[in-house]
Amino acid sequence: MSSDPPKLFTNKPKKALLRNLPQQSLTMETPSLPNTPPPPPPPKPSTDSFARRYRFLWPLLLTVNIGVGAYWFMRTKRDTSVEKAVKVEEIPTHTPTPASATVAVTEPITLKPVIVETPPKPLEPVPENQQRELFKWLLEEKRKIKPKNAEEKKQLDEEKAILKQFIRMKSIQNI
């Protein structure tokens, strides 16, 4: 073979003729046996997109992603506290269980000192003038409240009336 540059055709041959040329040259070079069919043509490359060619993989991929997401979600919700890690289930008394089925969880018992609290000391009585000031303040706060319905208005009016009675009393009971 000589190193000639490729030839440019003045009259360009059709693609079908160019496709048949290599096949003809192969059949001429190799002798064909009588009564043998020609080899099948090579499969045509698919013109579909990647997503359409492998459309059966999309549901599988989606399912796997959801499964992995659910696994990670549940893994982050796991409680790591020791108290909740050991759960003792209550066994109903009416159902007999064999001794081998029950598992005893024992923890070391620590004795804590018992602290006896002294009873609280009675507080000093609140003077009457401070009680009256407190009732007046409560009455002012009740007046600031705006009722939403008739029942609330009725209840507020009753509470205000009681406060007014306490304020008008000559002697107030000790609280």
Whole-number pLDDT of residue 53: 80
> What is d(CA 153, CA 142) in angstroms, rounded to the nearest whole number?
11
Whole-number pLDDT of residue 80: 54
Query: Taking CA 146 as the corner, what is the angle to CA 145 and CA 149, rounded to the nearest 5 degrees?
Result: 130
Whole-number pLDDT of residue 42: 82
Q: 128 with 172: CB under 8 angstroms? A: yes
Is the residue at 85 inside a domain? no
Whole-number pLDDT of residue 68: 92
Is the residue at 115 inside a domain? no
Whole-number pLDDT of residue 26: 46
Task: For residue 163, count CB atoms less than 10 angstroms from its CB and return exposed for 0-12, middle for 13-18, buried for 19 or more.
Answer: buried
Range of the domain at 152: 128-168
> What is d(CA 130, CA 137) in angstroms, rounded to the nearest whole number?
10
Q: What's the total number of domains in the chain?
A: 1
Whole-number pLDDT of residue 25: 47
Which value, to the nearest 10 degrees, does the dihedral of the CA atoms of residues 9, 14, 16, 17 take?
-40
Q: 156 with 142: CB under 8 angstroms? A: yes
Is the residue at 66 inside a domain? no
Is the residue at 59 inside a domain? no
Whole-number pLDDT of residue 1: 53
As averages over each run of 10 residues, the pLDDT of the chain (175 residues) reads 65 72 50 67 79 84 92 74 49 53 65 80 86 92 92 94 89 71
Is the residue at 149 inside a domain? yes
Whole-number pLDDT of residue 54: 82
Whole-number pLDDT of residue 79: 54
pTM of the prediction? 0.32
Whole-number pLDDT of residue 21: 61
Q: 22 with 42: CB under 8 angstroms? A: no
Is the residue at 132 inside a domain? yes
Is the residue at 2 inside a domain? no
Is the residue at 107 inside a domain? no
